[in-house]
Structure 1
Amino acid sequence: MKVIPALHRSSYQSFFNKIQDLIGGKKKPYNPELVNEYIEQFKDTFFNDKALVEISNKMQSELSTKIGIKGINLGGKLGREDAQKVQSETSSYVSRELIRKQKELIKILNEEFSEVGQFRIIISIDDLDRSWLSSSDIRYDFINALLEAFRELLDVKSGKILISIRTDILMGIYNKTLRQDEKDQSLIYSVSWNKADIRKIIDMRINHLVKNKYQGSRVITMKDIFNFYIDGVQADEYILDRTMLRPRDAISFVNYCLKECDGHVEINQDIVLMAEEKFFSSRKRALVSEWVTIYKNVSEYIDSLSMLTKQEFSLKSINEEDKNTVLTYILDRVSSGDGNELHSKIVMNFDELMKVWFIVGVIGIKRTETLIIYSSYDKPDLDITDINRTFIIHPLFNRR
């Protein structure tokens, strides 16, 4: 829907005509009749967002007639037998009427239109998974289907599809054994940022704000604005240390600082500390939202860090009494379910709890005074060789 109009800007009809011209003649590695049938069904709305509604309505109407459930609503509640019937017929319809024909259309684009024009088209689709029941495990099935569809498009040599996906979501798919991670390795590029990258982004944004407001020519950096110390640390470093080195984190923290001073007060230590409190709350909510489908009680796991007496620790340095204090805190905070169900839902082993802390990013491995290793796609969790290492609580989550 997005690529075809970009290739045939002058006339959509010319595209329809070319599809029709492919019918008959020599045998081709695709089926133009199927493609023409598909295009004709949605011709009037094919190149706008109404096409999605049209496809959904047509499917719902045909399924209602075939299944015999009047006015079937795909989002409504059905009995078990009816639900199974809907699932079976929906799967059959999607395969027969949509996927089969769409695959043939992709073949035609690859065979007949891949050399059309020598210009680059960039199409960005954001929030693709927003409506995919984000609080339910079924979203992993949807995203797995997206990744499978992505593989289907690898043969289109003139196009390159990029999917940006968080590590926790990929882990959820692999944990549900929907796919094997080793088979995806050749297709995955791990994206991460360091302090220099984040600082450059912040400098660019600050310069943009200053020039827009004051029309100044001087280059203003993050270090110029946060040119003071907090607890013996340069303020700009203090801020960067409390992000998880993601652009959105750093931008959000700086925005909180600017909002606190509201243009009337020079930024100082108190303003940054007040901004930190608000940033912590928003970052914690985001972290819980990211991981709750994998760790149901992740909020309690994060809060339990406050039960530790030191920011830097090892497994051996924590006595059994302190470990029990942390685990008891979690148990007391989780209030749903009966005893057996409750214990099956929460981590009741301190070694496992440390693994969860590391995976979600609230603790890191301290290698040197300047090198802390946090969870990443390349090292998503701890193994048995890590247990005896020294760990440190992420500065943002060290609430002492």
Structure 2
Amino acid sequence: MTGEVSNKVGAKRPRLRSTFTVGGEQAEADALLDGAFYDSDDFAVIASREDKRCFVVGRTGSGKSAALQRLEELNPDHVIRISPEDLSLPYITNLQAIRYLDSLEINLDNFWTTLWKHVLLVEIIRHRYKVNSPAAKQNFLSELRDRVKRDQAKRAALEYLDEYEGRFWEEADQRVREITQKFTEKIDAEAAAEAKVGSVASVKIGGKEGFETSSEFTEERVDRFQRIVNDTQLARLNKMINVLDDEVLNRPQHFTYVVIDDLDRDWVDERIANDLIRCLFRTVIDLKRVRHLKVLVALRTNIFQELQFGRRGGGQEEKFRALVLLMKWTKADLTEMLDERVRVAAPKVGLQVESVADLFPNANKARGNPLDYMLDRTLLRPRDAISFVNECLALGAGSDRVSWSDLASAEQAYSSKRLLALRDEWKQTYPDIDQVFEKFRGSPVAMSRQDLQERLDSAMLLLSEPKFSGVRWMTDVTDTMWNSSTEASWFDLYQPLLKVLFTVGLIGCSRSDIRRATFYSDDPLFIDQRSNIQTTRSYFVHRAFHRALDIR
């Protein structure tokens, strides 16, 4: 039988094959990403050369990496990809000098910003002029010098690049190490100078030895080291940004995207990861002055929430948030995305279907629409939708379409995997949060405030468990419960822990008898309003996790 669906009465459609899927759940393993990419409104913002939003923020599985990969495929000669793992940053943060400065609570922001600016500027110039040898470097420098010979500031900026002699065309990690080496040499020199006047017992910070300090010298020493940190090449680098705009990327045909992804991996010591990312954001904002350049940074929602812009940045948060693109999907978006994938994948296995709905049973009054049923059990992310459909197709193999029975069986496996994925997404921020999830096993579909309170109380008692590794964050969100007066309101006592569960996507709130709850994906700020909590009548575990938590 051919792959075409016969129109004759009684003719059978080809059976679903075990090799049929609607793609991979992750961009790097998605065979359909190229041929069936869904051009969402968010992707249009990412690709736009006019739209200034450049910080691509979203939950795991929301399509950030896929969008950036697609951008690279469509603009192969205009995209530079920088991987944080390739910048030797773990090596740098483990240096004795850096650790010592960090122990003195010296603000290293200027140093980190210098590193980011250097990496980005040099990568852009290397890409633009194809600098891959000493001769290529000299050629482009000679060309630029000739153009800026009447501008003293620009000539001075070019001297910065000339200092990097044989390193300029090497990989970014080598250049980063060279900058760091020069910086630590300054720190060692300052230590040697102090040793001569007896303020320290050991000199070599950059080696295995360290300072043995006395408290009376600490404040003065911090000031001196802070001056060294602040005395960076930032002024010259800022002038190089002008050169970049006026002389390097000075025409539309030279438009360049710089893509930075994978900031959620273990690429650097967690102690200073947030500082490094904040300084990257600051660098990207400074580079906005370059007209034909767009630097795109992808970041997971939970990491973005932890950045604490105001801690050292002073008034920068509003600037950052104005440039954020929050990746969001609607049911209509996800349906169109699945339809496109089915149209591309189905012919490869002898099926001729036009939409994902053609693979599932018809809607009926008793059970409703199967696709609505499935999407209601996602967190409105492509990864969830693809995962659920693939589970169904695997069970429907050998039949001409997925049955309601197949769908119900697939939901068990899908739900269990989504709960594990939720744990993995948030375990860095909230260690052992899966133990809190377990407190909702077997809960009512619609929980009253009392039902919810009993489970939150039980979760708070995890602090008494010797093996519970979430003591720090649980202590923070339960402080009012353990230390407040008897006059504290329910909102004051329980909202902090409830907010965690709302933010991760486990719990939603309903202010009416209707079981339609508000989840984080609907209104991220809902949980912050006291009046919303006061008028909430029922609480719901998201349907994505019902089967995994035995909620029937």
Specify the alignment match of 2:536 in structure 1: 389
Alpha-carbon offset, residue 208 of structure 1: 1.8
Tell me the matched-pair count: 379
Separation in 2, partners of 1:21, 1:270:
74
Alpha-carbon offset, residue 201 of structure 1: 0.9
Alpha-carbon offset, residue 196 of structure 1: 0.3
1:371-382 map, 5 Å: 372-376=517-521, 379-380=524-525, 381-382=527-528
Alpha-carbon offset, residue 252 of structure 1: 2.5
SS at match of 1:173: coil
Specify the alignment match of 1:327 in structure 2: 457
Alpha-carbon offset, residue 19 of structure 1: 3.1
Match of 1:21 among 146, 154, 167: 146
Match of 2:506 among 342, 357, 362: 362
Alpha-carbon offset, residue 325 of structure 1: 5.1
Structure 1's 186 and 65: CA in aligned 2 closer, same or farther, altered over 3 A?
A: closer
1:33-72 map, 5 Å: 33-41=156-164, 44=166, 46-47=168-169, 50-57=171-178, 59-60=180-181, 63=184, 67=188, 69=204, 72=207
Range that drifts further, 353-362 or 11-20:
11-20
Separation in 2, partners of 1:334, 1:204:
51
Gaps of 5+ in 2: 1-121, 189-202, 482-492
1:1-400 map, 5 Å: 1-8=122-129, 14-21=139-146, 24-27=149-152, 30-41=153-164, 44=166, 46-47=168-169, 50-57=171-178, 59-60=180-181, 63=184, 67=188, 69=204, 72=207, 92=228, 96-97=232-233, 99-118=234-253, 120-133=255-268, 136=270, 138-174=272-308, 177-178=311-312, 181-214=317-350, 218-227=352-361, 232-261=367-396, 263-265=397-399, 266-306=401-441, 308=443, 310-315=444-449, 318=450, 323-324=453-454, 326-332=456-462, 335-336=465-466, 344=475, 347=478, 349-366=493-510, 369=514, 372-376=517-521, 379-380=524-525, 381-387=527-533, 388-390=535-537, 391-398=539-546, 399=549, 400=551
Read off the aligned partner of 1:295 and give its amino acid letter. Y
Q: Percent identity?
A: 23
SS at match of 2:540: strand
SS at match of 1:163: strand
Structure 1 residues 193-217: Cα deviation after superposition (integer angstroms, max 9, x where no partner): 1100011111112222113343x6x
Structure 1 residues 65-102: Cα deviation after superposition (integer angstroms, max 9, x where no partner): 862648749xxx97787xx999x9799469625x4443
Structure 1's 272 and 175: CA in aligned 2 closer, same or farther, altered over 3 A?
A: farther
Structure 1's 233 and 59: CA in aligned 2 closer, same or farther, altered over 3 A?
A: same
Structure 1's 91 and 351: CA in aligned 2 closer, same or farther, altered over 3 A?
A: same
Matched-pair contact (CA < 8 Å) for 1:300–1:330: no
Read off the aligned partner of 2:520 and give its amino acid letter. S
Matched-pair contact (CA < 8 Å) for 1:364–1:372: yes
Separation in 2, partners of 1:281, 1:46:
50
Separation in 1, partners of 2:230, 2:378:
44
Structure 1 residues 224-243: Cα deviation after superposition (integer angstroms, max 9, x where no partner): 11225798243222221111
Instruction: Identify which of structures 1 and 2 has the higher relative contact order when contacts are C-alpha pairs closer than 8 Å and 6+ apart.
Output: 2
Structure 1 residues 107-139: Cα deviation after superposition (integer angstroms, max 9, x where no partner): 2111223433535444433214424448x3532
Gaps of 5+ in 1: none
Read off the aligned partner of 2:376 and give its amino acid letter. D
SS at match of 1:124: strand
Alpha-carbon offset, residue 314 of structure 1: 4.2
Structure 1's 241 and 188: CA in aligned 2 closer, same or farther, altered over 3 A?
A: same
Structure 1 residues 360-395: Cα deviation after superposition (integer angstroms, max 9, x where no partner): 211223367585432149633332111121333210
Structure 1's 120 and 255: CA in aligned 2 closer, same or farther, altered over 3 A?
A: farther
**TM-score (normalised: structure 2):** 0.58
CA RMSD of aligned residues (A): 4.0
SS at match of 1:252: helix
Separation in 1, partners of 2:211, 2:344:
57
SS at match of 2:141: helix
Structure 1's 140 and 22: CA in aligned 2 closer, same or farther, altered over 3 A?
A: same
**TM-score (normalised: structure 1):** 0.76
Range that drifts further, 14-23 or 380-389:
14-23
Separation in 2, partners of 1:91, 1:283:
49
Separation in 2, partners of 1:147, 1:56:
21
Structure 1's 299 and 375: CA in aligned 2 closer, same or farther, altered over 3 A?
A: same
Structure 1 residues 26-72: Cα deviation after superposition (integer angstroms, max 9, x where no partner): 43xx343343332451x555456x23223315533762686264874
Matched-pair contact (CA < 8 Å) for 2:338–2:356: yes
Structure 1's 175 and 385: CA in aligned 2 closer, same or farther, altered over 3 A?
A: farther
